[in-house]
Chain A
C-alpha cells in the first residue's frame, strides 16, 4: 500500500527560485491538504481540495499555489522562494466525508537560502 507519496524528500532552493512539491495518493480520497510544519508551531494549513477541480486557501496560502486536475494528484507550487518558506511540508488525504482520519505523506524538508 503506497498511501500518500510525496516527492522530493529534501530540497535546497535559492531565494527567488521556484519549485513544485508533488503529492499523489492511491486511496481514491476526495479531500487532500497541504500543511507546513515549523518547529514548536504545529501544522498550518496552506491549501486544501475537496475534489478534482476544486481548491481553496487555508491559513497560510501566501507564496503558494495548487491545482487538482485529478483525484490522485495535488501538487504545491512555490513561486519566488523566500527564507520564510523554509519548513517541512506535509501532504495529506482523507475520505469523502472529510471527518475521517487523514493519511499523511512522509514530508518534504525544504530549505531556502
Chain B
C-alpha cells in the first residue's frame, strides 16, 4: 500500500517570503513523487517530480522540492512567494510496482498575502 500525508490544511505566507508546503509518504518499494497545483475550477497541473538522482528537484514557476529518504519527505519550496502562487497543492506518490497510479494527499491550500 502507498499513502501520502500533507499535515497542513492551509499555509499562509507574505509575498516575497519563502514558502514550504510539507509532504510525507509511505511506500513499500522505491517512491516516485510528484507535486501538482490546482487553481479554482481547474484540473491539476504538474509542477515537478522525483524519480531518481539528485534529491533537489526543480520544477515549473520557480518551485523546487527536496526528497529526503530517511525522513520519507518531499517538501515543496519556493524562495520568494507570489500572490499568484495562491492555489491548492497536492503531493502524490506512486512506485515502480503494481498499478502505478498516483495516490494523492489531501491537499494544502497556499494563501500568499500581498
Which A residues fall within an 8 A CB radius of B?
Answer: 4, 31, 33, 35, 40-45, 48, 56, 58, 90, 92, 97-99, 101-107
Contacts and interface: CB of A to CB of B under 8 A. Distances in A.
Nearest to A107: B43
Interface residues of B, number: 25
Given A90-B43, A98-B94, A42 B101 contact: no
Closest 7 CB pairs of A and B: A98-B100, A104-B43, A101-B46, A42-B104, A42-B106, A43-B104, A104-B44
A3 B42 CA distance: 14
Contact of A90 (B41, B44, B100, B106): B44
Interface in B94-113: 94, 96, 99-107
Contact of B102 (A4, A40, A102, A106): A102
B74 interface: no
B96 A104 contact: no
Interface string B1-19: 0001000010000000000
B43 A105 contact: yes
A23 to B, nearest CB: 11
Contact of B96 (A31, A44, A45, A99): A99
Contacts of A106: 41-43
A99 B100 contact: yes
B20 to A, nearest CB: 19
B67 interface: no
Of A31, A45, A101, chain B has the most CB atoms within 10 Å of the CB of: A101
